[in-house]
Amino acid sequence: MGSPTLVASQSSHAVVKISSLKVACKSCNLRELCLPIGLDQADMEQLEGIIRRRRALKKGQMLYRTGDPLRSIYAVRRGSFKTTGAMEDGRVHVTGFFLAGELLGFDAINADRHPCEAEALETSDVCEIPYDRLENLAQEVPGLQRQLLKVMSREIVRDQQLLVLLGRMSGEERLASCLLSFSRRQVRLGLSATDLNLAMSRQDLAYYLGLAIETVSRLFSRFHEEGLIDVQARAVRLLDIGRLHTVAGVDATGPNRPK
């Protein structure tokens, strides 16, 4: 698709610190899912001016840890992350999975510290958006402030849907909803609606869904027996999305059906 993006080297040295590379949102295929939505060319360039491309993280590396001071908000450019909250006795709960195009770190704005930790589930890289500069720029660029507020609101909605999932759904409803959520997010990325490659372990999934790992494993087996999915370890193919919707307790004809 056209000519490759050319980035001018900022020094004569051959090796450029990746973490200081400017990002070109305007040529990023995720721009319609990420923070720049609705920004015009000039505003987008301003946003690019404050964003840095951070080094890639390998599987298991931490993007931030509980208690770290808020420095940046992060956009996933490639790969995926989990965020984990811990209780004082050591029990943990996975509060979210973040795929390409999704933003994380907003929970740190409240107290200027990250209240949870974020870990790469696979080789990933992120765009780093220094928060103080983001705040300043949002003050000047109305479209950016607007988008920032919308993205944070979306995070609130997402969390509230998870509250319903954990508070009122059965195990099978939880897993079916979760698989359908991954499917939808892959579609947004232009990927298959049916072929998932789960980057997280069964244990992570169990922590996320509020279930024991054995329960999650049994549910995968049952869904397989019932012809809902194919499972080959972490490769999952959704064979009957309509019936998965039924299992999830959601009418497949669409969300927000009026009472």
Partner DNA sequence: TCAAGCGTTTGACTTAGGTCAAAATATTAC
Partner DNA sequence: GTAATATTTTGACCTAAGTCAAACGCTTGA
Q: Which residues contact 108 (CB under 8 A, 6 or more apart)?
A: 64, 68, 70, 114, 115, 131
Q: Which token pair is 199?
A: 């980057």
For the four alpha carbons of 229, 230, 232 and 235, in that order, the dihedral sign comes to negative
> Which of DNA, a copy of itself, none is residue 221 near (CB under 5 to 8 Å by kind)?
DNA
* C-alpha closest to that of 95 among 66, 60, 124: 66
Residue of 34, 100, 116, 205 that binds a copy of itself (CB under 8 A): 116
d(C-alpha 145, C-alpha 208), whole Å: 31
Query: Alpha carbon of 32 to those of 39, 101, 102: distances in Å?
Result: 10, 8, 11
> Which of a copy of itself, DNA, none is residue 220 near (CB under 5 to 8 Å by kind)?
DNA
Contact region with DNA (CB under 7 A), list: 44-52, 107-115, 182-190, 197-205: 197-205
DSSP 90: S
Residue of 110, 232, 253, 256 that binds DNA (CB under 7 A): 232
Q: Which token pair is 234?
A: 């972490």
| In contact, 111 and 56? CB cutoff 8 Å | no
Restricting to residues 58-87, name those near DNA by CB under 7 A.
59
Minimum Å gap between C-beta 191 and DNA is 19
Residue of 7, 16, 111, 235 that binds a copy of itself (CB under 8 A): 111
Tell whether residue 249 is a contact of a copy of itself (CB under 8 A).
yes
Contact region with DNA (CB under 7 A), list: 3-11, 103-111, 201-209, 243-251: 201-209
Q: Which residues contact 212 (CB under 8 A, 6 or more apart)?
A: 206
Which string of x and - marks every residue 130-169 that binds a copy of itself (by CB under 8 A)? -----x--xx--x--xx-xxx-xxxxxx-xxxxxx-xxxx
> Which of DNA, a copy of itself, none is residue 212 near (CB under 5 to 8 Å by kind)?
DNA
Tell whether residue 107 is a contact of a copy of itself (CB under 8 A).
yes
Using CB under 7 A as the binding criterion, the count of chain residues that bind DNA stands at: 22
| In contact, 129 and 74? CB cutoff 8 Å | yes
Residue of 18, 234, 237, 251 that binds DNA (CB under 7 A): 234
Tell whether residue 215 is a contact of DNA (CB under 7 A).
yes
